[in-house]
Amino acid sequence: MKQAIAGLLISFFGFFHQQILPQMSIYPTSAKVTYVFDGDTIELSGGARVRYIGMNAPEIAHPKSRAQCFGKEAADENKKLVLGKTVTLVSDTTDKDAYGRLLRYVYVGNAFINDELVREGYAVAEPVKPNLKYAQEFYTDQESAKKMKRGLWSACP
């Protein structure tokens, strides 16, 4: 009887460890955006910082660097899209970057924020391996933004 119970417990914990635990995340899958740093980085309620995957927005002014062309506009658009709103966060292969920020695809309702910023010319497609789930979509939408001279594609040399 003890062996049967022990066997069941081992089976259960093995199943839990292999099947259930990997699907559980210690990171939020949705949260309210409390601060927008720039066009591709936000802070969530609870303090987690999120860097959007697959794209890169121009930098705003920092103590160590000058603002890049269209940086303020990208930050303002990101604020308009997400500040004060509840976002859904979807991971790819890598959970965090070298700075400890969560790497995520960000949605507000059905709006795919990473891609919207690229499509409207507030950011450039910049997928980084191994996070390539939407790389082709980002490149396609960047080409469209260039062709239509949207955002930074018309404002920046």
Residues recognised as catalytic: 51, 59, 101
Tally of CB atoms within 10 A around 68: 17
Backbone angles phi, psi at 142, to 5 degrees: -65, -45
β-bridge mates for residue 96, sequence order: 102
Amino acid (one-letter) located at 72 = K
CA distance 27 to 63: 30
Residue 116 has which token pair?
């919207």
CA distance 148 to 20: 46
